[in-house]
Amino acid sequence: MDISTLIGIIVGSALLLWAILTKSPLEPFMDAGSVAIVLGGASAAVLIGFPLKHILGVGKVLRNCFFAKPQDPMKIIREMVRYAEIARRDGILALENVTADIKDPFLVTGIQMAVDGSDPDLIEAILVSELESIEQRHSDGKAIFDNIGKYAPAFGMIGTLIGLIIMLGKMDDPKTIGPAMALALLTTLYGAVTANLIAMPMADKLAVRSREEIFIKMIMIKGVMAIQSGDNPRIVEQKLKTFLPNRMRDAGQEARAA
């Protein structure tokens, strides 16, 4: 589980509650109608803007914010080097025996095409096309939260305008002006909190997760191509380590030496 997402939401919410409770009881900040305008309006706008199949998949996208476990690039590189050693020692056809133990279907596809003797350009083109499809799916999921972050403040302002209209209609009673104004501003608060504490940070987290997965897939592509071309395992390792920053390369060398 990605504990930072949960910690961020809890800490942000707790600080907001603390700031409110030190100055006022919580009751004036609670209004079901304001919640309905912001969350209902933003949800309706997203439903209008996206196909239903994208909306139905939002649960899986949301899980990536909390439960996605990034793969270790050094571990992937070590696996690719091991496959290169098998191919060099026993022939590339021997890799067919290891595909059953590989959990990533993207890597299985690449190795299987290499085992089948497919043209190198075709292998790379298919894997890159699959990578682009993955990136597009990630972009579609992120766009939902981007749009919630965009629409929530807008519906907060709409709610405020509705409240002001109601308030202005009761100007003959000065006692109602203060409470009505406070209620009108609640939707702006709800919209800002929804956008800046929930939707937009989650969109940013999804973008990070997407970059991490695309990075790993790029290592896999280069690894498969190096194995298919018959490169020495040490050459495969050096090629793949060029993707890594120096600190990660040094850490990998130390782990290998140990």
Residues of the chain with pLDDT under 50: 255, 257-258
CA atoms within 13 A on the CB side of 179: 9
Distance CA 159, CA 165 (A): 10
Q: What is the pLDDT of residues 136-171, one digit of tens each?
A: 988 988 999 999 999 999 999 998 988 888 888 777
Q: What's the pLDDT at 250?
A: 61
Helix (H) or strand (E) holding 153: helix 120-168
Q: How many CB atoms lie within 10 A of CB 181?
A: 13
pLDDT of residue 128: 94
- Give the single-character DSSP code of 171: T
Q: Report how far Cα 28 is from the mean position of its chain's Cα atoms.
A: 35
**Residues 6+ positions from 220 with CB-CB distance below 8 Å:** 76, 80, 104, 106, 107, 110, 127
| Per-residue confidence (pLDDT) for residue 249, from 0 to 100 | 64
For the entire predicted model, the pTM comes to: 0.83
Q: What percent of the chain has pLDDT over 70?
A: 95
CA distances from 207 to 2, 141, 198, 214, 216 (A): 14, 10, 14, 11, 14
> What 3-state DSSP class applies to 91?
coil
Res 110: pLDDT: 93
pLDDT of residue 257: 47
pLDDT for 201: 93
Specify the pLDDT at position 252: 52
* Nearest one of 1, 5, 11, 12 to 194, comparing CA atoms: 12
C-alpha to C-alpha distance for 221 and 80, rounded to whole angstroms: 10
